[in-house]
Amino acid sequence: MTEVIFLIEEALEGGYTARALGEGIFTEAETLEELRNNIKEAVDCYYEEDDENKPKLIRLHLVKEELITA
């Protein structure tokens, strides 16, 4: 695996959530900067140091939902 993709969404109660697509990795944080750090930490915890499947890149896909009145 060369990369893991995280879907980032704004949480209803504030802050952000991130989950890896196709992997069992999930984390959350109050700010995007904190979330980036938490994602790196979560990936490090999920994969062993010498795991050949540990991704070299982490791709973040930020989804922002916005509503406007018609």
Three-state DSSP state, 61: strand
**How high is the pLDDT of residue 53?**
85
pLDDT of 1 reads 65
Beta-carbon contacts of 20 under 8 Å, excluding residues fewer than 6 positions away, are 4, 5, 6, 7, 26, 43
pLDDT of residue 17: 97
pTM comes to: 0.86
Give dist(CA 52, CA 59) in Å, integer: 18
pLDDT at 43 over 80: yes
| For residues 8-18, average pLDDT | 95
DSSP string of 45-56, one letter each residue: HHS-TT-TTS-S
Tell me the percentage of the chain whose pLDDT exceeds 70. 99
User: pLDDT tens digits for 46-62?
Assistant: 998 778 889 999 999 99
Which residues are 8's β-sheet partners? 18, 62
